[in-house]
Amino acid sequence: MGDDLLAGWQSWRERRDRSLRNPHGWLSLTGLHWLGTDPATFDTVPGRWRVLDDTVYVSADRADGLVHLGTPIDGEVAVSTPERVHAGEVEVEVIQRGGWWALRVRDPQSPTLTSFTGVPAYAFDPAWVVDGHFERFPEAQEIKIGSVIDGLTHAESAIGVLRFSVAGQELALTAFDGGDGSLDLLFRDATSGVTTYAASRSLSVPAPDADGRVRVDFNRAYNMPCAFTEYATCPLPPPENTLPVAITAGEQKYH
C-alpha cells in the first residue's frame, strides 16, 4: 500500500512539474494590468486598451503586430474571455476579478519560467495520508474571501466541511466545489510563512463516497500561482481554514 501511494505521488509530482513548465502557464506571467475607461498603454504589450460597458477593447495599428482570432488588428476590436490576443509568442488574456477587468500577459521568455528548476517539497510521508469525512451543506453557500491583491475579493462556492484527525487532534476545513464531485481545499497551517508559502496552499481531494468518506493526501498540497509570480490574483483561505498544526507535507516555499 505504501509503495502504491509513493508511486502515485511521484507521478503526480512529475505532472505538476510539467504543468509549471507550460510555455504559457503561470510561470510565464510578465504583467497584470488593470483597465479603466480611458485607453491606456503598457510596457509588456502593444496597443491601447480600455474597458467600456463590461467589454474590453484594444486599438492598434497593423505595425504593432497584434493578432486577434488569427487576424492582425488594424483599428479597434472587442476582446472577450477566453479569447487571447497574440503579439508574436506573447499571449494577452482578458480577465475579470471582483468586478474589475485586467490584462494578464504570458511570455514564454519570462525569467520566472526560464529559470525554473522545480518546486521544493517535503519528502513523501504516508502518515500524511489521512481518512476524512465530508459533511455536505444542504445547499452551496457563496462566500466572499480575500485575495493577495489588496481590496480584491473572490466569490467562492462552499459546499461543505471536511473533518479529519491529525495526531489525535480533530480538525476541519471548509471545502469548495472542485468540479466532477471533487473538493478544493485552501488552507494555512503552522508552517505557513516558515517553510511553506505564507498566503496559502491548496489541495484537491477526490469525490467522497456515498457515506462521505474520503482520503486526504497532504503530500499533494501545492502552491497557488501567487507563490511564483506577483501577477496572480489568488484567493486567500477563509479564516476557519487556518489550521493550528504544522502540515509538514506537500510543496514548500519556492524562494
Domain boundaries, the chain: 26-114, 118-241
Residues 145 and 158: beta-carbon distance below 8 Å: no
Q: What pLDDT is stored for residue 167 in this prediction?
A: 85
Report how far residue 184's alpha carbon sits from residue 254's, in angstroms, rounded to the nearest whole number: 21
CATH of region 26-114? 2.60.200
pLDDT digits (tens, 9 = 90+) for 136-195: 999 999 999 999 999 899 999 999 999 999 988 999 999 999 988 999 999 999 999 999
What pLDDT sits at residue 98?
A: 86
Which residues of the chain are modeled with pLDDT < 50?
none
* Cβ-count burial 192-204 (b if 16+ within 10 Å, e if not): beeebbebbbbbe
Yes or no: say if 254 and 197 are a contact pair by the CB < 8 Å rule.
yes
- The residue assigned the cell 510521508 is 125
Query: Residue 207 has what pLDDT?
Result: 96
Cross-strand pairs, 45: 42
pTM given for the model: 0.92
What is the side-by-side order of every strand in the sheet holding 201-205?
Answer: 213-217, 129-145, 154-166, 169-179, 182-187, 201-205, 222-223
